[in-house]
Amino acid sequence: MNTFVCIKRVPDTSEAEVKVDASGKDVDSSKFSFDINDADNYAVEEAVLIKEAKGGTAKVICAGPQDADVMIRMALAKGCDSAIRIDDPRINVLDPLQVAKVLAAAIKGQEFDLVLTGCMANDDGAMAVGVALAEELGVPHAAMVKKVEVGDGKIKVQRELEGGIGEVVELTLPAVVTIQTGINEPRYAPIRGIRQAQKKELKVVTIDDLGLDENEVNEAGSLIELQKLYIPEVVSNAEIIEGEPEEKAEIMATKLVKGGLL
């Protein structure tokens, strides 16, 4: 089994305040901490598990800046064999269909049985790149997968539907599968792996190296256009509890008990 796994570097904004910058088309990311996208981390683990069980290779693909090398090396330390990073500021990361085109160009012409992506990126939440990538590669796909069983020339996967129901489908290989979080338990990189990762190949390419015309993947060539970013009005009817943390806790406890909410 030869597997490619596509990963993205994203900011952790779960507890961070997000502000729109002066351009009105981007956010101020100077205070964000970045790491591998959650679902992609599970996809890396799944690629390594498949390689361990079935043999073959697990290769990483990433479209992103040099800062992404840290998380790429981490994927290599966990057992991936090599990586390609497409480093090109012309890529319009706001259009998932264009990102899919870039990833497809990096994979086309190489032998593969399976391509894994995370099912959703934490930053844009579009859930589109993996499925679009399958269409670009001309292979079948299944999205939001929480279980993978590799067979002979086929793969059986369980998709996660609403309400926790599973849907089992069988795909003919090669195929693209988008991985849902929780499918496995991502490992920590072993020390030996971290050392070995430094020696593994991490090839950096541009869209020209991939034979792409820049108008296929840049902002001008996109069929959609970001006009404006803005912070949504948080319409909240909540009663805001004021004071020092301890006071807030006391006020809240009193409201719960005296207000008959328990």
Partner 1 sequence: MGDIFVLAEHRQGELRDISLEMLTKASELAPKMGGEAVAVLIGSGVDSFAEKLAGYSDKVLYIDDPLFADYNSEKYQKVLVELLDSYKPEMVMIGHTTQGVDLAPALAVEKKMPFVADVIEIEHVDGKPRPVRQFYQGKVNADIAFKGDAPYLITFREATLEVPDASKQGKVEKIDSPLKEDIEYRRFIEYVEAEVGEVDITQSEILVAVGRGVREEKNMAMIEELAKAINADICGSRAATDAGWLPHDRQVGTSGKTVKPKLYIAIGISGAFQHLAGMKAAKTIVAINKDPEAPIFTVADFAIVDDLFKVVPKLTEKLIELRG
**Least distance to partner 1 from the beta carbon of 22, Å?**
15
Q: What is the identity of the amino acid at 186? A: P
Distance of CA 135 to the CA centre of its chain: 18
Q: Are 102 and 91 in contact (CB under 8 A)?
A: yes
Q: Which is nearer to partner 1, 69 or 123 (CB)?
A: 123
Closest CA to 106 of 5, 197, 9: 5
**Least distance to partner 1 from the beta carbon of 111, Å?**
19
How far, in Å, CA of 206 to CA of 183, rounded?
33
b/e sequence 124-142, b meaning 16+ C-beta within 10 Å: beebbbbbbbbebbebbbb
Q: Which is nearer to partner 1, 103 or 197 (CB)?
A: 103
**Least distance to partner 1 from the beta carbon of 168, Å?**
4
Q: Which is nearer to partner 1, 126 or 204 (CB)?
A: 126
Residue-level length of the chain: 262
Q: Which is nearer to partner 1, 76 or 102 (CB)?
A: 102
Q: Which is nearer to partner 1, 201 or 247 (CB)?
A: 247
**Least distance to partner 1 from the beta carbon of 107, Å?**
15
**Least distance to partner 1 from the beta carbon of 119, Å?**
8
b/e sequence 74-84, b meaning 16+ C-beta within 10 Å: bbbbbbbbebb
**Least distance to partner 1 from the beta carbon of 48, Å?**
18
Q: Which is nearer to partner 1, 69 or 95 (CB)?
A: 95
The number of beta carbons lying within 10 Å of the beta carbon of residue 201 is 10
